[in-house]
Amino acid sequence: MAAASHTKAFEAVITRACSDPSYKHRAIPKNPIVNLWQREEEFRYRMVPVFCEIDGYTMATDRSTQMLAVYDGAGAVVGGISLKSILVLPDHRGKGLGAEIVIRAFETGVLHPDTMNKSNLLTTAGRANRAAAHRIAVERAVRAGLDVPDEVLADYSDVLPRWTASSDAAAPAVRPSL
């Protein structure tokens, strides 16, 4: 069962809050960016590095606090997960970070796939990130030669030949987390 969506009005509030650290709204008790920055600073000593497929970025996680932080090349937090909220700052969007955050959150146990379908509403961007993460994970599994159920592959039959035909020996399709 797919997660419900936010109303258009509330999605606008969330979008603005995820873009502007100074934005406050009665419907959001704490700005998600500020919350992520504060929590990352508080738990930095516990954070464990995880592999990030996106060049120029690194990630670290603390499973016990269900937090994952994304850092740019200068070490600034530019996205991540805090309290089940996934965000990427505007200057870093469109690079695949949202999907990579979802994949690494599932791999590290910060989130369980079912947590995005129960008691958690998704924004339009959140739904797109979840779909992109699934597609990327299936592609990586196919390229790594892992068994992928036929019903899952059926959703991607249009691109399956491209995925299996890859012979990019310089960069393995699936790399282990650090």
Residue 171 has pLDDT above 50, yes or no: no
* Residue 176 maps to a domain: no
**How high is the pLDDT of residue 77?**
95
* Residue 53 maps to a domain: yes
69-117, pLDDT tens digit by residue?
999 999 999 999 887 788 899 899 999 999 999 999 989 988 877 665 5
* Residue 178 maps to a domain: no
- Pairwise CA distance, residues 87 & 90, whole Å: 9
Q: Predicted confidence band at 173 (pLDDT cuts at 50, 70, 90)?
A: very low
Averaged pLDDT score across all residues of the chain:
82
- Pairwise CA distance, residues 101 & 137, whole Å: 12
Residue 39 has pLDDT above 80, yes or no: yes
**How high is the pLDDT of residue 142?**
87
* Residue 1 maps to a domain: no
Name the percent of the chain in helix, strand, coil, to the closest 5.
Answer: 45, 15, 40
Instruction: Report the percent of the chain where pLDDT is more than 70.
Output: 84
* Residue 61 maps to a domain: yes
Domain total of the chain:
1
* Residue 33 maps to a domain: yes
**What are the residues whose beta carbons fall under 8 Å from the beta carbon of 52, sequence distance 6 or more?**
58, 59, 70, 100, 104
Domain that holds residue 50: 8-164
110-163, pLDDT tens digit by residue?
887 766 555 455 677 777 888 888 888 888 888 888 888 888 888 888 777 777
Please give the C-alpha separations between residue 162 and each of 56, 96, 106, 133, in angstroms, as whole numbers.
Answer: 26, 19, 25, 18
* Residue 2 maps to a domain: no
**How high is the pLDDT of residue 166?**
52
* Residue 143 maps to a domain: yes
pTM of the model: 0.79
- Position with higher pLDDT, 61 vs 158: 61
**What are the residues whose beta carbons fall under 8 Å from the beta carbon of 164, sequence distance 6 or more?**
142, 143
End-to-end Cα distance, the chain: 33
DSSP state at residue 175? -
